[in-house]
Amino acid sequence: MAVATILFLLGATTALKYDPVLPFHGNGFTVSRIPLPKNPQPMSDLKVAEHVVPLKRGNAKSLSSTYVQAMRGRKLADAGGGRLGTGQAQLTSVEAGQVFLAPVTVGGQEFEVVVDTGSSDPWLVVPTFECYDPYTGDPRDQGECYFGPAYNPSLSSNYQRVPNENFNITLGGITVPRQKFGTVDYAAWFGDGYSSGLIGFAYGTLTSAYQGEDPTQDRRGGTLLYNPLFVNMYNQSLIAPIFALAIDRDPNNGGLLALGGIPDIPHSPYWVSTPIESVGFFIGTRTPAYEFYTIESDGFAFSAFDSAQFDVQGTNNPRKTPIIEAGSVIIDSGTSLVYAPPAVAEGVNLAFDPPGRFDEDYGAWYVDCNAQPPVFGVSVEKKIFYVNGADMIIPSAQDVCISGVQSNNGGLTILGDVWMKNVISVFDIGAEMMRFAAREYYTMDEAPVPVTT
């Protein structure tokens, strides 16, 4: 089995490294649910984690946003409008999402890597890698992939090529011995100048190891399964099978990743739990190229009136404002904004004071940078999680702001960082559940940090 050489192209392996690998609305792709293992364990106790990783925010296009914008672009193109996919709109810099970086130690060498909930493989780039354009597949100078320091196998204290690897990887103070990981020889990558690779937190079924040493012979669907880093952490009883994200509002801080528990930050004592319904992004094969953690939402609550009461229970009480557009929603830290059904996006943005305006050319809602945002929240298991007004107005250019809630163009609904900054998101992989608690209100200058004694 060859894991030490993985052809990595935007989260997926491919047989033709010169082919374009970035999905866009003209490409043939499908999005559908992925069956989960269906052997859930009891839900883990939500204890404060001993292992908490401070995250650094990176200025780079996230993998998840690439797939999100492909889905939105196809829906908009099918409707015959908009310029999504041209890369010319002011909105694109925000829609590109962001990446979150964590420090890791691999074989005695220290790196920063992207934390990604939509892929599974842990990997690092090597000094001799070849860089390719994600849009065209054309070769590029190494610098255009914009990686940080490369992993040098000759300097590793315990590197061996498969099948007899002994790769020790440490994340958040947890060392996993003999961890398989990929060394990337070919990359089409949107780098941030700091990260040297990636650690995936999706299910282990999404790994991308292939038989043999020649990546040009790799075929989708021919992967060899192995346990990625987080799976090994809980399989070896190093932690409980959960991780949690607390995304920070302060742009200078990324937030916290808790392994095996939750971060010790202020939050509501009331938790909700809801089943995970994984959704995969497929490009011409039965093997997903990317995976999203998905849940069912009761709907969206919004109003221009601070005193509004919402009919979460669906009683049709005329004194309460109904919530609308129940359905599946993707939870994704790599997406900056909330992408809601068109009726929700329109209702929310018209409730700004002054009202937002929709730009037909770019398919985006713009708002006054000093506007008063409406009340806005998402209901999960009959509990509304509200968004702080500070997260509803996003600076895009000088004196130009976009709304934090945009239309999904009739496609999948995405709850990105605009919403995630206001909750602690727990991924209970063992129980196949997601769990949420509201964050305590905090301002830009009050970055959440672990409580120490």
Length of the chain: 453
CB of 417 within 8 A of CB of 246?
no
DSSP 278: -
Which structure tokens are listed for 354? 């002054």
Catalytic residue among 264, 332, 391, 417: 332
DSSP 162: T
Check residue 201 and give left, alpha or beta (phi > 0: left; psi -120 to 50: alpha).
Answer: alpha
- Cα–Cα distance between 118 and 280 in angstroms, integer? 9
Nearest to 395 by CA among 91, 96, 97, 99: 91
CB of 325 within 8 A of CB of 88?
no
Which structure tokens are listed for 326? 């129940």
Q: Is 332 a catalytic residue?
A: yes
**Cis peptide leading into residue 40 (ω within 30°):** no
Q: How far is CA 300 from the centre of its chain?
A: 21
Which structure tokens are listed for 406? 């945009």
The alpha-helical segments, DSSP class H, found in 79-130 are 92-95
End-to-end CA distance of the chain: 46
> Which SS3 state, helix, strand or coil, does residue 67 take?
helix
Nearest to 409 by CA among 35, 71, 34: 71
- Cα–Cα distance between 227 and 301 in angstroms, integer? 40
Which structure tokens are listed for 295? 């849940």
Provide the residue type at 71 as one letter.
M
Provide the residue type at 85 as one letter.
G
CB of 336 within 8 A of CB of 94?
yes
Catalytic residue among 116, 192, 218, 248: 116
Residues carrying an active site annotation: 116, 332
